[in-house]
Amino acid sequence: MKLFQSNVATIWSDKTSIYSLAAKPLIFRLPPEGAHKAAETALGIPGIWNALRIANGANDNKLKTNIAGIELPTPIGMAAGFDKDCKVLGSVLNLGFGFTTGGTVTLSARPGNPKPRMIRLPEQKAVMNSLGFPGQGLEPAIKRLKKSQKYKSRVLISIAGTIDDEIFECLRRSQSLVSGIELNISSPNTAGLRIFHDPGRLRGLIEGLVAEKQVPLFVKLPPWPRNDENRYELLKLAATAVDAGVDGLVVANTHPIENTRLKVGRGGLSGAPLFEHTELMIADIQAQVRGQASIIACGGVSTAEHVWKLLASGASAVQLYTSFIYGGPGLPARINKRLSQMMNTAGITKITDITGEPPRI
Ligand SMILES: Cc1cc2nc3c(=O)[nH]c(=O)nc-3n(C[C@H](O)[C@H](O)[C@H](O)COP(=O)(O)O)c2cc1C
């Protein structure tokens, strides 16, 4: 058991927590997709992560939050894309995430784009990807969701498709197994999703989904630039989604980039360089929706200070992915604990009371 734990711990480069059981991290010696598979394999052995959950900082009453009526123990969530086929939902939660987003799941299995399609940029603590939804499709995800029902109250599923019928089918068949649906119209890597950037198409789709949904529906938006007319077009999408009846918005997906190191020449950037922009977008969206929908902030989040700033700007929760690649499995526990300490310093006992700049501790 000791040897096994040590192998698991080497998969991440985490030097500051109880998870750091080995000296030399293995993860950065593997190619990115290989490292991801190794992490998934490690998380696929639930016993270890289940045992570690007592130290994950998520049992602190102060951190409780609510997104569109979904009660969560902490506002820190795993973003879509890490657990594409819903294989490790419980283990991810046991690390200290308040919720996890399985998928993005598509109706049929897909091979994704040609490789290389995921590249680490360690100096920037960033990743470029052009994966294009490789996945096993809806059916295997449904089977796994059925086996993970004890976690249902903290699981969202991200769904996508290039025609409305595919998306409806994903919603109909998965919604009784999860606490919320995240509609992904914003991956920069899948030709065909952009049709839903047309406000008329988006409205039709969302109104149809709203008529059928039995759980809260979130829409994950593409990022918008700061100074561009595109900004108003994309902000209009948010207004359209809210007007059509969504319960929440996820702001935002990866930022489109062009880079010849990716086989298809372009993809999405994620990680640390996004944070500042995420903060600006949350301010924009807050001004736009004014409390009519819950906001989940996503992009470059890696510290409790980041979480504080985004919650203070109007988000009810955050999602992260890339910082978990660099920070390791102890990251959500560290963020939970530090956020709680910061709340103590500020003399507040509720997540909704977070305002202003993060206190220094
Ligand atoms: C390798 C990789 C795969 C991703 N796959 C998906 C996906 O399937 N669906 C989705 O909505 N977002 C996907 N994302 C985007 C993330 O959910 C998130 O929006 C983005 O990475 C910004 O957050 P971060 O900076 O914390 O990573 C993916 C991101 C990465 C790095």
pLDDT in tens, the chain (361 residues): 333 333 333 344 444 343 443 334 556 668 888 888 888 888 888 777 777 777 888 999 999 999 999 999 999 999 999 999 999 999 999 999 999 999 999 999 999 999 999 999 999 999 999 998 889 999 999 999 999 999 999 999 999 999 999 999 999 999 999 999 999 998 877 777 788 888 999 999 999 999 999 999 999 999 998 888 788 888 889 999 999 999 999 999 999 999 999 999 999 999 999 999 999 999 999 988 888 999 999 999 999 999 999 999 999 999 999 999 999 999 999 999 999 999 999 999 999 999 999 999 8
Which residue among the candidates 179, 187, 302, 313 is catalytic per the annotation? 187
pTM greater than the 0.85 cutoff: yes
User: Contacts from 82-88 at CB under 8 Å and sequence distance 24+?
Assistant: 82/321, 82/324, 83/40, 84/133, 84/134, 84/135, 85/135, 85/136, 85/140, 85/141, 85/144, 86/141, 86/144, 86/145, 86/148, 86/157, 87/40, 87/43, 87/44, 87/144, 88/40, 88/43, 88/44
3-state secondary structure of 118: strand
Q: How far is the CA of 2 from the centre of ligand 1 (A)?
A: 33
Candidate from 106, 250, 253, 281 with most ligand 1 atoms within 8 A of CB, to mutate? 253
At residue 252, φ and ψ (nearest 5 deg) are: -155, -175
Q: How far apart are CA 247 and CA 323, in angstroms?
A: 27
Domains annotated for the chain, with CATH where assigned, are 57-352 (3.20.20.70)
**Which residue is closest in CA terms to ligand 1's atom 13?**
81
For residue 28, the model assigns a pLDDT of 67
Atom of ligand 1 nearest to the CA of 126: 25
Beta bridge partners of 252: none
What is the position in ligand 1's atom list of the atom closest to the CA of 220? 11
Which residue in 193, 169, 40 sits closest to 102, CA to CA?
40
By CB atoms closer than 10 A (0-12, 13-18, 19+), residue 146 is exposed
Ligand 1 centroid to 270 CA: how many Å? 7
pLDDT of residue 18: 38
What spacing in Å lies between the alpha carbon of 222 and ligand 1's midpoint?
11
Collapsing DSSP states into helix, strand and coil, what is residue 13? Answer: coil
* Residue closest by Cα to atom 28 of ligand 1: 81
pLDDT, position 274: 97
Q: Write out residues with Cβ below 6 Å of ligand 1.
A: 79-81, 84, 104, 118, 127, 129, 131, 133, 158, 184, 187, 220, 253-254, 270-271, 274, 298-301, 320-323
pLDDT for the residue numbered 16: 39
Which ligand 1 atom minimizes the distance to the CA of 298?
A: 23
Atom of ligand 1 nearest to the CA of 84: 8
Relative to beta strand 118-121, strand 99-105 is unpaired
Ligand 1: centre distance to CA 349 (Å): 31
**Cis previous bond, 116, omega within 30:** yes
Strand order in the sheet with 255-258: 118-121, 126-129, 266-271, 255-258
Best substitution site from 87, 321, 323 to test ligand 1's pocket, by max atoms within 8 Å of Cβ? 321
pLDDT score for 51: 72
Ligand 1 midpoint to CA 158 (Å): 11
Q: Could you tell me the end-to-end alpha-carbon distance of the chain, in angstroms, rounded to an integer?
A: 37
For the question of residue 187 being annotated catalytic, the response is yes
The residue nearest atom 29 of ligand 1, judged by CA position, is: 81
Alpha-carbon gap, residue 57 to 37, rounded angstroms: 26
Answer for the pair 134, 112: CB distance below 8 angstroms, yes or no. yes
For residues 358 and 326, is the Cβ–Cβ distance under 8 A? no
Cα angle 256-262-267, degrees, rounded to a multiple of 5: 15
**Kind and range of the H or E element at 169?**
helix 164-174
Q: What is the pLDDT of residue 91?
A: 92
pLDDT score, position 230 = 82
State which of 78, 100, 254 you would mutate to test the pocket of ligand 1, scoring each by most atoms of that ligand within 8 A of its C-beta.
254
User: 253 C-alpha vs ligand 1 centroid, how far in Å?
Assistant: 6
Q: What is the CA radius of gyration of the chain?
A: 19
